[in-house]
Amino acid sequence: MHIRILKPAAAALVVLMGTMMIPSAALADASPLFKQLVGSWQGLGDLTLEDGTRERLSCKGYYVLKQEGDGLSIATLCESPTQKFEIRSLVAEKGSGISGQWEERTFHATGQVSGKANGTTLDLSITGTIEGTISIALTGKTHSVTVTAAGAGIKGVQISLSRS
């Protein structure tokens, strides 16, 4: 039962972080927000289920620029008392638009990501196995992630991450 409920939550965490080496040419052409997100992050948060139950999350993740500079590879590992999630994503920025794909490897969920970058904030929509929204707000050496996924067994996810 928990796996069915938490599967959408795992998928909704897709846009947190990423892995790979960063070529210097990619940094020169990269979006300012993508540049600021590059690196290792860790933090805590809460998963709230539709029935009001809360589970504490511990997350580690990595953002890495793709060689072209307009793409961001994202990898996230999160644990709650009952679940582990492994999420991968690749997003690209064209102008102020963001698009890409996500995959949750534990539950084999997949889908699309789209949205906009506004200064130090990413406002995204996710579709596929679940549908919802994700907002990532960067403030200095921390960023917050807020996820909503109506009808997916969860009310939302809130995480605060700091550079590790």
Q: Which residues contact 151 (CB under 8 A, 6 or more apart)?
A: none
In total, how many domains does the chain have?
1
**Interval 57-115: pLDDT, tens:** 999 989 999 866 679 998 888 899 887 778 888 999 887 799 999 888 877 788 999 99
Are 134 and 122 in contact by the 8 Å Cβ rule? The answer is: yes
Containing structural domain, residue 82: 2-163
Return the pLDDT at 16.
36
Would you say 43 and 59 are in contact if contact means Cβ atoms under 8 Å apart? yes
**pLDDT at residue 57, as a whole number:** 95
Question: What pLDDT score was predicted for residue 131?
Answer: 83
| pLDDT value of position 102 | 86
Radius of gyration of the chain (CA): 15
The pLDDT tens digits of the residues spanning 2-33 come to 334 444 444 444 333 333 333 444 445 567 88
Predicted TM-score (pTM) of the model is 0.75
CATH no. for residue 115? Answer: 2.40.128.20
pLDDT tens for 123-152 read 999 899 878 888 889 988 898 988 888 666
